[in-house]
Amino acid sequence: MTFFKIVSDDQYGELFPNMESIIAQSQKPSELAMAMDEGEQLSEYWVKCEGVLEDDLAPGDICRLQVNELMLSEKAYSVLKPILTEVGEVLPVTYQGADWYFLNVLKAIDADESNSHQNEFSQVDKIAFKSCDIEGQTVWTSPFGHYSYLYCSERFVELVQVAELTGIAFEQIDTV
């Protein structure tokens, strides 16, 4: 069974929610920061905010963020909406007057650690999942690597490619 790691496409800019603004407006900033760090639900703390473009390139339809998150344009949200509730929570963001959506991926699947490896900096060099654990899944993260990576099925890749969504690329991984 083949699956993929979701990575940024360097031809596009990365649009982030303004987390400093959200933390500043939060009644519980330390709890919000901890929830972000642990890959937990953020809706309790969320405040709709303006997105921040991290570079001079225009964002694609999907932006791969730093940890277990994606930023979705209205087009990407429309295409992916049927699978999003099984993946995580969708939170509102705006950018240049347009609606965008912050996808906080909460679906976490344990890696097959006997076939996975992290380097001395705790970066994932190799990851494997048992086929039975990821069968029927579309997008997920893993506690192996501290929720820093996103993985997806061929179904997700096909949805993105058929809709010609831009901004992300896929690196193939194999399961055991």
* pLDDT tens string 148-169: 899 999 999 999 999 999 999 9
One-letter identity of residue 46:
W
Residue 118, CA atoms < 13 Å, CB-side half-sphere: 15
pTM of the full structure: 0.91
Write down the H helix ranges in 73-153: 74-87, 131-134
- Return the HEC string of 16-56: EECHHHHHHHCCCHHHHHHHHHCCCCCCCCCCCEEEEECCC
- Within 10 Å of residue 165's Cβ, how many Cβ atoms? 18
Q: Which of 29-43, 74-88, 134-148, 161-175 has the lowest mean pLDDT?
A: 29-43
State which residues form the domain around 142: 2-174
- Report the number of distinct structural domains present in the chain: 1
Output the pLDDT for position 174: 63
Q: Above 70 in pLDDT, residue 175?
A: no
Q: How far apart are CA 148 and CA 139, in angstroms?
A: 13
Collapsed DSSP state (helix, strand, coil) of residue 96? coil
Tell me if 1 sits within 8 A of 77, measured CB to CB. Answer: no
Q: Are strands 88-95 and 49-53 parallel, antiparallel or unpaired?
A: parallel
Give the tens place of pLDDT for each residue, 59-114: 999 999 877 899 999 999 999 999 998 999 999 999 999 999 999 999 999 999 88
